[in-house]
Amino acid sequence: MTRVRPLDPGDAAAWFTLMCEGTQAHPEAFLLSFDEVAEMTPERVESALARGNTYGLFTDEGALIGHAGLHLWDLERLRHRADIGPFYLTASARGTGAAKVFLDALAEAAALAGVVWLDLWVDGENRRARAFYAREGFVEIGRRQDAIRVEGVSRDDVLMTRRLEAPGAGD
């Protein structure tokens, strides 16, 4: 079993370790490079987590095995949408159903905040992630060519979106 909650400054060391792992193993999945993450001061990490828009996926034992950003908009005309990203799980958590639990929890948090649409960008070559998001109700609605460059190599991103049901709509 796992649990999901917003990260706070007390989670800084665990989040930093996971970010270093992710940016090293899957640089195409992050906007920050490994070097940029490694240079973050503890104060900067704590400040980022204090915003409350980074969520963590924890084991029952309390180990952080995943993290994701859930970015809600303050602007009136955009409050019905939210962005997810990055969405990262440790290798040992992949293929266990934990990603679905995590994504469902993020979708529920977004819906409770009045969000109607969840958007995310995913690396165009990451077929596994794209298939997962499609199974979870996301549809591809666009492509950003040359979205990022990893070590000078251009990578495209695919924009995917999912319409959320109102909380309790299926009850």
For the stretch 125-152, pLDDT in tens is 999 999 999 999 999 999 999 999 999 9
pTM beyond 0.75? yes
CA quadruple 165, 166, 168, 171: dihedral, nearest 10 = -40
Domain harbouring 139, CATH code: 3.40.630.30
Identify whether 80 is part of a domain: yes
Using CA atoms, how far residue 133 sits from 39, 45, 77, 99, in Å, is: 31, 28, 26, 10
Identify whether 171 is part of a domain: no
Identify whether 64 is part of a domain: yes
Identify whether 134 is part of a domain: yes
**Closest Cα partner for 99 from 144, 139, 131?**
131
Per the DSSP assignment, residues forming a β-bridge with 83 are: 71, 119
Residue 165: its pLDDT value, please? 80
Identify whether 168 is part of a domain: no
Identify whether 105 is part of a domain: yes
Q: Tokens for 24?
A: 């090293």
Domain that residue 71 falls in? 2-163
Q: Which residues contact 168 (CB under 8 A, 6 or more apart)?
A: none
Domains in the chain, number: 1
Identify whether 170 is part of a domain: no
